[in-house]
Amino acid sequence: MGKMRMQSAPWRAAAVLASVLLVGGVAACGNSDTGGGGSKDDGKITMGFSQVGAESGWRTANTTSIKESAAAAGIELKFDDAQQKQENQIKAIRNYIQQKVDVIAFSPVVESGWDTVLKEAKDAGIPVILTDRSVDSADKTLYKTFLGSDFVKEGRLAGEWLVEQKKSASGPVNIVELQGNTGAAPANDRKKGFGEAIAANPNLKIIASQPGDFTRAGGKQVMEQFLKAYPKIDVLFAHNDDMGLGALEAITAAGKTPGKDITIITVDAVKDGMQALADGKFNFIAECSPLLGPQLMDLAKKVHAGEEVPPRIETEETTFTTEQAKEALPNRKY
């Protein structure tokens, strides 16, 4: 008896450790029942988020929206910037799996090549939410839902506007296209939607199409090449505002007037793009909303609680002409 009461310090430490491990194990099981990996049992949801990068004004606004919404929703956010590299995103997701976060959310830099890591998350019992951009995985059970825009529609709206503007053109209308980064859903889909829409008028021809990686520097550099290679450019379709803004510099430097000599159509409607539109340097913008944070946090709570969520949730968006941009600018948040 005496021996039992008088445990040595190492034995007492081992007993405490065993009971902590037991309680921890039970807590982990409890969390996985609710659909989450469960790092701890304090009732707080932990989200691991892998962001594409910081390539554009849109992306900056999206990151702010996610960080602010996580704080407002009481969700602990682990955030990683992948610097536009898929391998960095895969590494971040694997880290989140190891850390046993409750939910993983990410905006895939490209559409393909995610099945293996998504399967790892699924096997670990951690639900995945795709936001902004989707993946082309055939197995839809690898993620819970997608939240973001209809990029094909954005491209189509841009193309339809151009078809209307050029309906009385009697000769060829030469279009150059600045694509987003190769393999990205918004680059693939905007190209598709725009191409389908302009097919309505055989005068409208894409004479050159190159990736500018969604950055101002990329847009400027590729537009400089286009201007050197093609003496007659009538229209620029840029897959985002930032590439369009970079192209403005190249067009002005080439002695042309943006918005007049070259009609400029972009996507996003961030403040700088809207200012260019209001100033008559851009001619039309199809909106893509970056303010996905509040809906994302709501979805995270639902999937963590094991609730059913729709497989795809699309953001409501509009389009802007110069007049509409002038009106909307004073209240534009990003």
Q: Is 56 in the site for ligand AHR (CB under 6 A)?
A: yes
Q: Which of 240, 263, 266, 322 forms a contact with ligand AHR (CB under 6 A)?
A: 240
Q: Is 288 in the site for ligand AHR (CB under 6 A)?
A: yes
Q: Is 273 in the site for ligand AHR (CB under 6 A)?
A: no
Residue length, the chain? 334
Q: Is 320 in the site for ligand AHR (CB under 6 A)?
A: no
Q: How big is the chain by its Cα radius of gyration, in Å?
A: 25
Q: Which of 31, 47, 133, 266 forms a contact with ligand AHR (CB under 6 A)?
A: 133
Cross-strand pairs, 89: none
Q: Which is nearer to ligand AHR, 49 or 58 (CB)?
A: 58
Q: Taking a C-beta distance cutoff of 8 angstroms, is the pair 242, 57 a contact?
A: yes
Q: Is 216 in the site for ligand AHR (CB under 6 A)?
A: no
Q: Is 58 in the site for ligand AHR (CB under 6 A)?
A: yes
Cross-strand pairs, 143: none
Q: Which is nearer to ligand AHR, 55 or 234 (CB)?
A: 55
Q: Taking a C-beta distance cutoff of 8 angstroms, is the pair 218, 181 a contact?
A: no
Q: Which of 47, 59, 297, 325 forms a contact with ligand AHR (CB under 6 A)?
A: 59
What is the SS3 string spanning 225-293?
A: HHHHHCCCCCEEEECCHHHHHHHHHHHHHCCCCECCCEEEEEEECCHHHHHHHHCCCCCEEEECCCCCH
Q: Which of 55, 102, 160, 287 forms a contact with ligand AHR (CB under 6 A)?
A: 55
Give the Cα-Cα-Cα angle 318, 322, 327 (nearest 5 degrees): 75
Shortest CB 138 distance to ligand AHR, Å:
22
Helix (H, G, I), strand (E, B), or coil: what is residue 211?
strand
In the numeric block, the tokens 């996003």 are attached to 268
Q: Which is nearer to ligand AHR, 31 or 215 (CB)?
A: 215
The residue ranges that bind ligand AHR (CB under 6 A) are 55-56, 58-59, 132-133, 186, 214, 240, 242, 267-268, 288
